[in-house]
Structure 1
Amino acid sequence: MRYLWSLLFCLLAGIAHATPANKAYMSIIIDDLGQSSERDSRTLALPGPVTMAIMPDTPHASEFARQAHKAGKTVILHMPMDPASGPFAWHPDLPIEELARRLDAALGKVPYAAGINNHMGSRMTAQREPMTWLMGELQRRHLFFVDSRTSAATVAAAQAQAQGLAHVSRDVFLDDVRTPEAIAGQLQQGVALARKQGSAVLIGHPYPQTLEVLARELPRLSSQGIQLVSLRQMIAERSNQAMPAHGKQGRYFNR
């Protein structure tokens, strides 16, 4: 039964059997949403199934989550984790009961969330006990997990895989360098990786430069043999397996 939800995701997503075998898949997540109505609106206008990752401690979190859901976009909770701060943030010294309370409160701020990914979290995602608890809790709530991989020491995806939780891991950050040229280069890195391993998950932010590049380049992906897919479809495509950079023979490195 522990794998039932992951299998159900595969069925709901329809997998990708209708797509030619030479296609490669890409999913794009935009983090840090809910802070600016102008940037939120520009992000929502991006073509295709771009995922909206909304921070719970932002002035427009709930309103934008409803707007994005109505527009047919996938909404996820961008969950603050140490070294992030604020009333919802997870820290290693907090008991499980407080982590549960903060998760519940954060989900209440982001309606229609289909899953969560970590905001920051380089220290928190390295903590095995709370990550194990989180994956069990997400399984109970029928939510998926995206490991943003803000640290090579993360054990989050490994714990998700161990519990059969529907999940994926980030492959490429788009905008560590905030110039259009650098962002376009990172997008092409994602294209090359998707061709090489069959899929790529990219994370960016609602910076003007990022939104400019994506608005221009996303319509061109299909001509490069790339199919932009939702996170649910990506989860189905990857079937909870680790990519080569994150593990060996489909299993995550157990640090």
Structure 2
Amino acid sequence: AIIIDDMGYHRRLGAELLALGMNLTFSFLPHAPATAEQAEQAWQTGHDILVHMPMEARDPAFDPGPGTLYLNDSPARIRSLTAENLALVPHAIGMNNHMGSRYTENRPAMHEVLALLRQKGLFYVDSMTTPRSVGMDEARKMGIKTGRRRVFLDNVKTRKDTCHQLRLLVAAAKKHGQAIGIGHPDEAMLKALTRCRDHLLRQVRIVGVHELVR
């Protein structure tokens, strides 16, 4: 599965990624201006929709943006913000974390968020922005379907590097039977998917991420 994070800001790139005709999963930032419109379009064309939940990063220089969950929030505020963020993304069937290298290491904080996912019948994909994340483990303990990111596809924003990461994702899928990669709506991702699409589709079956959570 290939998840495209940070959807909802880049109208043209979002539209062009949708137009590729690949079974990509799209994860939308709740407060982004084009989220409602693009999520509707993605849903109508059969794509999995996720909420890209903004969570506190370890480095305060990184601002996850509006609707961010912070560790010093009260449990009541965490629940209300989570509910609000979930409600802003139409047709969402799951959630993954946006940033969150600090937040996802905290079990009680993750429990509050995951409890609401369980209540709404949503699954959780751990973006693994920290190797010490407890998100997937806590979701499993709570009986929530879950999975985790194996490969970041476009940390280096060039077509060549992104194509290389896509090949690593294919290798991981062949080794483990499945793999989840995460990319972003940028030119490198679009060019890499356009260039490598036929090769990818010959090697593996690209599925909506809902097929890979357990």
Q: What TM-score comes out, normalization by structure 1 length? A: 0.79
RMSD of aligned residue pairs (Cα, Å): 1.2
Q: 1:228 aligns with which of 179, 182, 206?
A: 206
Asked if the contact 2:3/2:27 (under 8 Å) is kept, the reply is yes
Which residue does the alignment assign to 1:48? 22
Answer 1 or 2: higher relative contact order, Cα 8 Å, separation at least 6: 1
Q: 1:204 aligns with which of 176, 180, 183?
A: 183
Q: What SS does the aligned partner of 2:212 have?
A: helix
Structure 2: unaligned runs, 5 residues or longer: 58-62
Which residue does the alignment assign to 1:195? 174
Structure 1 CA distance for aligned equivalents of residues 131 and 151 of structure 2? 13
The answer as to 2:150 corresponding to 1:176 is no
The answer as to 2:107 corresponding to 1:128 is yes
Identity %: 35
Q: Deviations over 1:173-195 (max 9, x none)?
A: 00111111111111111111111
Asked if the contact 1:145/1:168 (under 8 Å) is kept, the reply is yes
The answer as to 2:43 corresponding to 1:69 is yes
Structure 1 CA distance for aligned equivalents of residues 153 and 205 of structure 2? 18
Asked if the contact 2:10/2:185 (under 8 Å) is kept, the reply is no
Which residue does the alignment assign to 1:18? none
Asked if the contact 2:154/2:184 (under 8 Å) is kept, the reply is yes
Q: 1:223 offset after TM fit, Å? A: 2.0
Asked if the contact 1:115/1:143 (under 8 Å) is kept, the reply is yes
Q: 1:99 offset after TM fit, Å? A: 0.9
Which residue does the alignment assign to 2:77? 98
Q: What SS does the aligned partner of 1:209 have?
A: helix
Asked if the contact 1:47/1:219 (under 8 Å) is kept, the reply is no
Q: Deviations over 1:31-89 (max 9, x none)?
A: 00100211110121123220010101211111111111111111111010012443310
Asked if the contact 2:83/2:116 (under 8 Å) is kept, the reply is no
Structure 1: unaligned runs, 5 residues or longer: 1-26, 241-255
Q: 1:208 offset after TM fit, Å? A: 0.4
Q: 1:105 offset after TM fit, Å? A: 1.3
> Which aligned runs of 4 or more in structure 1 are off by greater than 6 angstroms?
none
Structure 2 CA distance for aligned equivalents of residues 103 and 91 of structure 1? 11
Q: What TM-score comes out, normalization by structure 2 length? A: 0.94
Structure 1 CA distance for aligned equivalents of residues 208 and 171 of structure 2? 19
Which residue does the alignment assign to 1:32? 6
Q: What SS does the aligned partner of 1:212 have?
A: helix
Asked if the contact 1:47/1:218 (under 8 Å) is kept, the reply is no
Asked if the contact 2:51/2:85 (under 8 Å) is kept, the reply is yes
Q: Name the amino acid aligned to 2:212.
A: M
Q: What SS does the aligned partner of 2:119 have?
A: helix
